[in-house]
């Protein structure tokens, strides 16, 4: 009889990344999802708020009779002790923004694995899609690592490259990395079934860590160059970037090199562009 591997999945409750993983693992008859661990009640991952076709991992899990946990403190002894009853072979983490403690990392029979949509050790941390778009990144990738106390710092289990043009929006970067991440998941699941998981340390000298973007990361000023302004707009899309005016700030969602009746002509460090305010978004749809 083929061994069935018991999985506890960790993901944000509204994560489209997590939903792709949930569906893929659930449909694989060699794996059994014993429980879902997700965000506390009332907490959503900001990546997906306001997007069309929202997902609800809790609702999906319960429809499959899979227990759901939404702990406020995942490092507590009582919570870890609760999960022990499932005797998991693996913990799989896919877009879960809390740090697992040693008690959880050491809980599974084999490993706790984290799937991160970046070419670690580069773009560790939050919002890798935003930073890749803003940096005009052309060389990207997706990575499976062993969970470690250092955020996205565990040993690399498997990594797949992803080519970008350097002109993608955040959403376009995300779509490409999500697609490749499913290929990565399939390969790692195959390695699990063969019991052939291997790993190697990350090169700490190449580590890049990014935090969640702040207003200053989305801000265009008179000191911003034209190419930088375009990169910021792509990184913010479909949400607006912020244009700094003399006495206020304006949300902007597009640019033009020629005169626009409702556009704002703005002097950048090395040129001028017409910026279209968010209030006129319907005019470019």
Q: Are residues 154 and 82 in the same domain?
A: yes
Mean pLDDT of the chain, nearest integer: 94
Q: What's the DSSP call for residue 200? A: B
Grouping H, G, I as helix, E, B as strand and the rest as coil, residue 265 is strand
Sign of CA dihedral 29, 35, 36, 37: negative
- Count of domains forming the chain: 2
- Mean pLDDT, range 100-128, rounded to an integer: 96
Q: Which of 210, 236, 253 is the last residue of a domain?
A: 210
Asked whether the predicted pLDDT for residue 32 surpasses 90, the reply is yes
- Mean pLDDT, range 255-278, rounded to an integer: 88
Q: What angle do CA 45, 152, 215 make, to 5 degrees?
A: 45
Q: Are residues 232 and 95 in the same domain?
A: no
Cβ distance 235 to 216 under 8 Å?
no
Length, in residues, of the chain? 285
Q: Which of 100-114, 154-168, 211-225, 268-282 has the lowest mean pLDDT?
A: 268-282
**How does pLDDT run across 91-107, given as a tens digit for each residue?**
999 999 999 999 999 99
pLDDT at 285: 38
Backbone angles phi, psi at 23, to 5 degrees: -65, -40
Q: Are residues 128 and 260 in the same domain?
A: no
Q: Which of 210, 243, 260 is the last residue of a domain?
A: 210
pTM of the model: 0.92
| Radius of gyration of the CA atoms of the chain, in A | 21
pLDDT at 268: 96
Asked whether the predicted pLDDT for residue 280 surpasses 70, the reply is no
Which domain CATH number covers 56? Answer: 3.40.50.170
Q: Are residues 279 and 240 in the same domain?
A: yes
| Containing structural domain, residue 151 | 5-210
> Which of the four pLDDT bands, split at 50, 70 and 90, describes residue 247?
confident
Q: Are residues 238 and 98 in the same domain?
A: no
Backbone angles phi, psi at 5, to 5 degrees: -90, 130
Q: Are residues 230 and 245 in the same domain?
A: yes
Q: Are residues 157 and 222 in the same domain?
A: no
Q: Are residues 145 and 26 in the same domain?
A: yes
Q: Are residues 238 and 188 in the same domain?
A: no
- Mean pLDDT, range 81-98, rounded to an integer: 96
Q: Which of 210, 240, 256 is the last residue of a domain?
A: 210
> Which of the four pLDDT bands, split at 50, 70 and 90, describes residue 284?
very low
Cβ distance 104 to 149 under 8 Å?
no
């Amino acid at each position: 009889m083929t061994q069935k591997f018991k999985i506890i999945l960790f993901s944000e409750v509204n994560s489209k990344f997590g939903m792709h993983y949930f569906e893929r693992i659930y449909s694989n008859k060699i794996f059994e999802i014993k429980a879902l661990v997700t965000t506390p009640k009332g907490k959503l991952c900001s990546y997906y708020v306001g997007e069309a076709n929202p997902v609800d991992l809790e609702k999906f899990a319960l429809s499959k009779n899979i227990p759901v946990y939404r702990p406020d403190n995942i490092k507590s002894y009582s919570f870890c002790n609760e999960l022990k009853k499932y005797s998991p072979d693996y913990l799989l983490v896919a877009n879960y923004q809390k740090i697992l403690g040693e008690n959880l990392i050491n809980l599974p029979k084999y490993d706790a694995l984290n799937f991160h949509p970046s070419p670690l050790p580069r773009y560790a941390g939050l919002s890798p899609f935003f930073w890749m778009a803003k940096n005009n990144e052309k060389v990207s990738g997706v990575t499976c690592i062993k969970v470690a106390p250092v955020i996205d710092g565990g040993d690399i289990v498997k990594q797949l490259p992803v080519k970008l043009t350097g002109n993608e929006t955040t959403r376009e970067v995300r779509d490409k990395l999500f697609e490749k991440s499913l290929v990565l998941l399939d390969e790692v699941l195959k390695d699990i079934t063969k019991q052939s998981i291997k790993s190697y340390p990350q090169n700490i000298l190449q580590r890049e860590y990014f935090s969640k973007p702040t207003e200053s990361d989305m801000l265009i000023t008179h000191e911003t160059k034209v190419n930088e302004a375009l990169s910021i707009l792509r990184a913010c899309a479909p949400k607006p970037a912020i244009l700094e005016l003399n006495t206020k700030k304006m949300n902007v969602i597009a640019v033009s090199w020629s005169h626009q009746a409702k556009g704002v002509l703005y002097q950048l460090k090395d040129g001028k562009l017409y910026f279209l305010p968010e209030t006129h978004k319907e005019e470019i749809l």
